[in-house]
Amino acid sequence: MTFRHCSVLACAATLAGCVAQKNPYAAANKSYQAQVKAYAKSLRTTPVPTPGGDSLMAGKYWVGTTNFNLRKPNYVVIHHTAQDSTAQTLKTFTLPSTQVSAHYVIGRDGRVYHMLNDYLRAWHGGVARWGNTTDINSSSIGIELDNNGVEPFSESQIASLLQVLAGLKKAYSIPSANFIGHADIAPGRKTDPSALFPWKRLAGAGFGLWYDAGPLPSPFSPDSAAALARRLLTPRSPEADNLPPTDSQPDTIGIDRQLARLNGPITPFNQREALRIIGYDTRDLPAAIRAFKLHFIQQNVGSPLSEADNRILYNLYKKCL
């Protein structure tokens, strides 16, 4: 083989290597940079008076304040992708036609793809509500976990998620209660992340609400409160109680002690109000209950709230007051 042939083969191998190493997302990255450049240009623009009869009564000069910074996220919303692979999700988020995105995608292997600057608005929440916030996308970070919705989340994936959450919480001072799921903000429309997601583990690390361990108080219903009051205020029957005779006056000190032992106020417990205080959109109450159970109960999510479920709801409700 001649030197010329060797040179040609070497060049061909080099070109092949360059082609093989080409970033498959180069076109999407170019589009990203172009959009960021356009937004940066808008931010640098000095406001100018708008001509016309309805223009503002601007002063002679535009005065730029010296006291400002970037807006920062206040919520983190966790999703599962409901797709078959990380590659499929990355493709979905780099096609303009899909109109959907997230700040982070975390693969089953724990690899983290940071797809959008945290200060920019991703399209991940859709029509959603949490408390009084109706534009979730404008105040949140969206994190997608590569998971089809019916499989457990891998340990590598959860470990990476916890690392990302720790960084976000520290960087933006996000309150612990503001780490929520897509199903929480869109009850009846979304179910992600699934009932297999380890919310309790996240809450233990400081990301999200969870109820207290051990026996929980039973919420008071109007009927039970009234019945207790009648029972306590009725003079004791010595014969019935096998107690020494007493006068006919109720034992007010004993009443106070018994009432004090009740863990919770003697007020009606309203499930809708409790869910609303936690943050759920309760206009469709069954959907809100299902979303609550998906997050905190994680079994029998389609059934009504049981007595045990009500105790958990009541405990979380009191935490949010």
215 Cβ contact partners less than 8 Å away, ≥ 6 residues apart: none
Catalytic residue among 144, 151, 155, 239: 144
CB count within 10 Å of CB 108 equals: 15
- The CA-based angle 241-244-246, given to 5 degrees, is 95
216 Cβ contact partners less than 8 Å away, ≥ 6 residues apart: 311, 312, 314, 315
Do 210 and 204 form a contact (C-beta atoms < 8 A)? yes
Burial class (CB in 10 A: 0-12, 13-18, 19+), 316: buried
Q: 144 an active-site residue?
A: yes
Q: How does strand 104-106 pair with strand 112-114?
A: antiparallel
**For residue 130, what are the β-bridge partners?**
133
Catalytic residues: 144
